[in-house]
Amino acid sequence: MGLFRGGDVGRGIVKGGLQHAVAEAKGALREGGIGTLFTSTALNAAKYVGLSLGRIEKAIPKPIKKQISLYSNFWDLE
């Protein structure tokens, strides 16, 4: 299970995301200092969590999906 279940595609997504996060972290540190670095890291971690949860969406109960979704009403359309 997990993000690598998609084989090379999943690994490519993770690798590309990690490369982007590292480049963004370097730029954040250079441009805004340690506070901006922490913010950038937190945002990229949240993106990774969201991507990981999206890949296992079918295993997540609807009430939890509604709680963690930006558009919770979406889950009422089914």
Q: What is the pLDDT of residue 6?
A: 54
Which pTM value belongs to this model? 0.65
Q: Is the pLDDT of residue 63 over 90?
A: yes
Q: Which residues of 14-40 are buried (b: 16+ CB within 10 A; e: fewer)?
A: beeeeeebeebbeebbeeeeeebbeeb
Is 45 or 4 the better-scoring residue by pLDDT? Answer: 45
Residues counted in the chain: 78
With left for phi above 0 and alpha for psi between -120 and 50, is residue 7 left, alpha or beta?
A: left
Is 78 or 49 the better-scoring residue by pLDDT? Answer: 49
Q: What is the pLDDT of residue 7?
A: 59
Rounded percentage of the chain residues whose pLDDT exceeds 70: 86
